[in-house]
Amino acid sequence: MITGTDFSFPGQTAKYTGKVRDVYTIDDKLLLMIATDRISAFDVVLPRGIPYKGQVLNQIASTFLDATRDICPNWKIASPDPMVTIGKYCQPFPVEMIIRGFLTGSSWRAYKNGHRDICGVAIPDGMKEHQRFPEPIITPTTKASEGHDEDITRSEIISKGLISEQDYTVIENYTRALFKRGSEIAAERGLILVDTKYEFGKADGKIYLIDEIHTPDSSRYFYLEGYEDRQARNEPQKQLSKEFVREWLMANGFKGEPGQQVPVMTDAFASEISERYIELYEKITREKFVREDVTDILARVEKNILSWLKTTA
């Protein structure tokens, strides 16, 4: 597994360590993103990595970046290793665009506590957990380098000058179109894309989709078959997402709040998480997941990146 990297590449001008990805800047023109096997929940990186998680994330994101390129430009240039994407360096907008098709997860927890307004979007009374919204709603958050992201409204984003109204309108339209495409692809594969997040950036005056897309870290999926029956019987939905990790943490007394200790993850639970990630990969891509050789994984990743950089020198 890779839970951290410390490479030094030709032309490297910066390195950023995110919750899950290690990001290297090359000549201030390229971003080199390594999807590690770290896992986070409640904006906290858990102390244990998950086998093959980075490979799953990178390959799903790579697949969907290719499948949505006709909707909006994206940052991806190449994927020289199963855990690596190299792309165009963009200046990121300081906001994550979260779009929700259903009342579930954090939105349900807020709703259950009496909130009827999420990020400036009014939610009607009388809704049930996992119920579909009449139309998908966009509930943006700020991007926190540390700690929790915060909900924010469209008007606050524009009035605070975080994003111009013109640019926000563009990324809002991209968000809806990408979610529509993702939902259609999911339905073809017997899944429901419940909610997801997108990030955007700008380079040379042009807006690009950046980072990951439609992965189990950034998205929630339900199984399509049986959704209506489970909903009618008020039963939990069968889902492929990271939500079950959050539920396990909450059941063990952890919600990412100050003073709380992260519970110890057993080998069996780490393996279960890995298998769920692999299951989603196979379901959403319709391809068999090939477990790459991890004998000397850091050396493999470095070699593949250096080989690609040489071809572009």
If asked whether residues 56 and 153 sit together in one domain, one would say no
Q: How far apart are CA 297 and CA 108, in angstroms?
A: 40
* 3 belongs to a structural domain: no
Residue 256's pLDDT is 85
If asked whether residues 180 and 43 sit together in one domain, one would say no
Host domain of residue 34: 12-90+267-312
Q: Which among 115-124, 170-179, 243-252 has the top mean pLDDT?
A: 170-179
99 sits in which H/E element: strand 95-103
* 124 belongs to a structural domain: yes
Band (pLDDT 50/70/90 cuts) for residue 158 is very high
The pTM is what?
0.89
Q: How far apart are CA 296 and CA 2, in angstroms?
A: 10
If asked whether residues 239 and 138 sit together in one domain, one would say yes
Q: What average pLDDT does range 220-239 have in this prediction? A: 94
Domain with residue 227: its CATH number is 3.30.470.20
Domain with residue 299: its CATH number is 3.30.200.20
Burial profile 57-74: b = 16 or more Cβ within 10 angstroms, e = fewer: bbbbbbbbbeebeeebeb
DSSP string across 181-224? HHHHHHHHTTEEEEEEEEEEEEETTEEEEES--S-TTTEEEEES
If asked whether residues 199 and 143 sit together in one domain, one would say yes
- Of 71 and 43, the structure prediction assigns the larger pLDDT to 71
Is the pLDDT at 150 greater than 90? The verdict is no
From 194, 214, 245, the end of a domain falls on 245
Residue 258's pLDDT is 87
Cβ atoms < 10 Å from Cβ of 274: 20
If asked whether residues 116 and 149 sit together in one domain, one would say yes
Residue 145's pLDDT is 56
If asked whether residues 81 and 118 sit together in one domain, one would say no
Residue 255 amino acid letter:
K
Residue 177's pLDDT is 98
- Cα 88 to the center of its chain, rounded Å: 19
If asked whether residues 196 and 160 sit together in one domain, one would say yes
Residue 45 amino acid letter:
V
- What's the whole-number average pLDDT of the chain? 93
113: CB partners within 8 A, 6+ apart: none
Q: How far apart are CA 34 and CA 195, in angstroms?
A: 24
If asked whether residues 149 and 235 sit together in one domain, one would say yes
Give percent of the chain with pLDDT exceeding 70.
98
260, 249 in Cβ contact below 8 A?
A: no
Q: What average pLDDT does range 129-148 have in this prediction? A: 84
If asked whether residues 149 and 226 sit together in one domain, one would say yes
If asked whether residues 97 and 228 sit together in one domain, one would say yes
If asked whether residues 131 and 168 sit together in one domain, one would say yes
Residue 144's pLDDT is 64
Residue 41's pLDDT is 86
If asked whether residues 291 and 234 sit together in one domain, one would say no
* 17 belongs to a structural domain: yes
* 219 belongs to a structural domain: yes
Look-up: residue for tokens 């593949």?
304
Q: How far apart are CA 245 and CA 251, in angstroms?
A: 10
* 109 belongs to a structural domain: yes
Q: What average pLDDT does range 185-212 have in this prediction? A: 96
Residue 246's pLDDT is 86
Read off the tokens for 73. 């430009």
Q: What average pLDDT does range 88-92 have in this prediction? A: 96
Residue 105's pLDDT is 86
Which of 80-94, 237-251, 277-291 has the weakest average pLDDT? Answer: 237-251
Q: How far apart are CA 156 and CA 229, in angstroms?
A: 40
Read off the tokens for 230. 């489970």
Counted domains in the chain: 2
Band (pLDDT 50/70/90 cuts) for residue 148 is low
Is the pLDDT at 43 greater than 70? The verdict is yes
Band (pLDDT 50/70/90 cuts) for residue 68 is very high
CA dihedral sign, ordered 32, 35, 38, 40: positive
